[in-house]
Amino acid sequence: MEEKKLDTNSLIGFMLIGAILLYMMWQNQPTPEQLATQNAQETQVDSQNSTSKLKSETPSANERLAEQKTKLGDFAYSLNASALEQSTTTLENDILSLKIDNQGGMLSEVRLKEFVNFDSVPVFLIKNGTSTLNLNFSTSDNRNFDTSELFFEPELKTDGANKVLSMKLKVSDTQFLEYIYTLRPDDYMLGFSIRSQGLASVFDPRQEAQLEWDLKALRQDQSISFENRYTRLTYEHDGDKVNKLSQTGDDDEAVENVSWISYRQHFFSSILVPNNPLKSVNLKSMDLVEDETIDTLFTKQYSTKFSLSFAGGELAQNMDFYFGPTYAKALKQYDKNLESSIPFGWGIFGWINKSVFGPLYAWLSSFLSYGIAIIVMTIMVKILLSFVQYKQFLSQAKMKILKPELDALREKYKNNKMKAQQETMALQNKAGASPLSGCLPGLLQIPVFYSLFMFFPIAFELRQKPFLWVDDLSSYDIIAELPFNIPFYGDHISLFPILASIAIFFYMRMTTGQNMAAQPQQEGMPDMAKMMKYMIYFSPLLMLFFFNNYASGLSLYYFVSNLISIGIMLVIKNYIIDEDKVLAQIEVNKAKPKKQNKFQKKMAEIMEQAEKQKAAQERRKK
């Protein structure tokens, strides 16, 4: 077979053809201008294709209108393409600015003109969809409607000095569902009515309409944890009973005969006040603050839901909304007991705050700076309670004088504890000295101290009021910011809690030392002394951590209060109580025949009976 060999001429020919083809491709390549034109054309084609696709996916205005008319049925009477565009109507007086959305006919913004938050931003109670007011109802043709999705027709007019906004959802010119908002001059209360006209044949009377009001509480204070502690849903029911949902976590409640519902946001409130008590209401509160160390916009989310009954086939419900400060002076003017939504404290503590400390501080702050008013009120309270300190110190002095005799009795009857206790009580009774005589006066101070503890964090007068280095007495003061967060303490250092802790330390050191010196020696005392010693350090430390995020006005009160207590104690000890005179009086008391009261007799009988039973048990053992 003949062997195949590479043809050189053929190879040269292929190479020439390839070279010619490459040259032609290079000569015919598009210029930069041609490339730009081509890219532009391709982009235009892509854009046209995308627009065509978007148009095919997004319904036109006419298509939307047709869809809404099909959905709304009878309520599509006045519906047109422009009515499907979202818009707002503004109602204003000198203190409130309100915006009502035509979609849903509900409030989309509530601004309090006179106030700003911790960041100098106007206070908004509702903004950017943080609240919804939805009426759910059924119709006779088996349709179910949520008004929050429907478009109302607004009409703004005046009624004397009042501004009235009508929002209508029409079936015809004479048949409609209407929301009516009425804003009076210089008033935080907004009138609100729901009524229907000519819709008896449209509504399904077998199913009650449901009104639901939801609100997410916007943050207003510097400390989110402090604000959230005083942000709470409160309501009045069954006449004058006031209750609250849980302060923390999520909570819900079904309540009857509700007079008002308050969505409290610490220093500001949104309150629903129906003209007549609501028969049955479902209330719900959700805590939105999952981590207090993370900056957040909201504190709580509230929800209220109740039924509206048909009267003659029509709806008619009148109510008011209060949007304003959580301030007793502002709330009292409506004569609805709305001031009870403020957490003054329960029982006697609330009474003291509402009847004594509230009016007293309002009077003092009317002519003094707010910080000086706190100091003056603290001085007045401590002077009023100085007799209690005197009684306590006098009791301690008596017990200190009797201590050698009481120690001798315990040593004498160390093998018979019951007898030692009897003799101790007898000696104390004769001398007119008892540990209880020092404790009982101290109990009188508890209502006062707890009332003030509740008063300062909710005192609206303190909000954004400066004093010395403090910018806001209703919030914590800052002398240094930390680059990290300390658990239970925070990311800043406040000075007033430090000063208050130091004052508490020295006061407890003085009082604890006096108490221990007056206590007779007995078993278990070394452990007791050690525990009391630890308390001297533990209590101020607890104060330091707990109040670092609390209102600086409260820390100022504790600082001044403990300083005054130290001063009063030194005066009583050095200038009022003379131990020699006290001893002489004790000797006189011991010489007098002392008649036991019923309680002392009963105690003596019980102890004597117990001693006899113990003796009988010991005889049986032998």
Q: Each residue of 532-547: pLDDT tens digit?
A: 667 777 778 888 888 8
Work out the angle at residue 74's Cα, subtended by the Cα atoms of residues 72 and 75, and round it to the nearest 5 degrees. Answer: 55
The four Cα atoms 472, 476, 478, 483 give a dihedral, to 10 degrees, of -140
Q: Each residue of 470-512: pLDDT tens digit?
A: 888 988 888 888 888 888 787 888 898 999 889 888 887 877 6
Domains and CATH numbers, the chain: 47-78 (no CATH), 86-343 (2.70.98.90), 354-591 (no CATH)
Stated pTM of the model: 0.74
How much is the pLDDT for 249? 86
How far apart are the C-alpha atoms of 230 and 125, rounded to whole Å?
Answer: 16
How much is the pLDDT for 61? 54
Higher pLDDT among residues 227 and 69, named by residue = 227
| Residue indicated by tokens 């609206």 | 460
Q: Each residue of 11-67: pLDDT tens digit?
A: 555 565 555 555 455 455 555 555 555 555 555 545 555 444 444 455 555 555 565
Least confident piece of the model among 54-68, 85-99, 152-166: 54-68
Question: Which one, of 237, 304, 235, 290, lies nearest residue 264 by Cα?
Answer: 235
Q: Each residue of 287-345: pLDDT tens digit?
A: 988 776 676 789 999 999 999 888 888 888 999 999 999 998 899 999 999 999 999 88
Least confident piece of the model among 184-198, 334-348, 553-567, 568-582: 568-582
How much is the pLDDT for 567? 85
How much is the pLDDT for 5? 45
Higher pLDDT among residues 42 and 577, named by residue = 577
* Identity at 607, one-letter amino acid code: M
Q: How many CB atoms are closer than 10 A to CB 506?
A: 15
Average pLDDT, the chain: 78
Q: Each residue of 192-249: pLDDT tens digit?
A: 999 988 888 888 888 888 999 999 999 888 888 888 888 999 999 988 899 999 888 8
Higher pLDDT among residues 8 and 199, named by residue = 199
Q: How many CB atoms are closer than 10 A to CB 332?
A: 12
Q: How many CA atoms lie within 13 A of 316 on its CB side?
A: 8
* Percent of all residues in the chain with a pLDDT value above 90, rounded to a whole number: 27
How far, CA to CA in Å, does 311 sit from each of 272, 273, 393, 433, 584? 22, 21, 70, 74, 84
How much is the pLDDT for 4? 42
How far apart are the C-alpha atoms of 392 and 104, rounded to whole Å?
Answer: 65
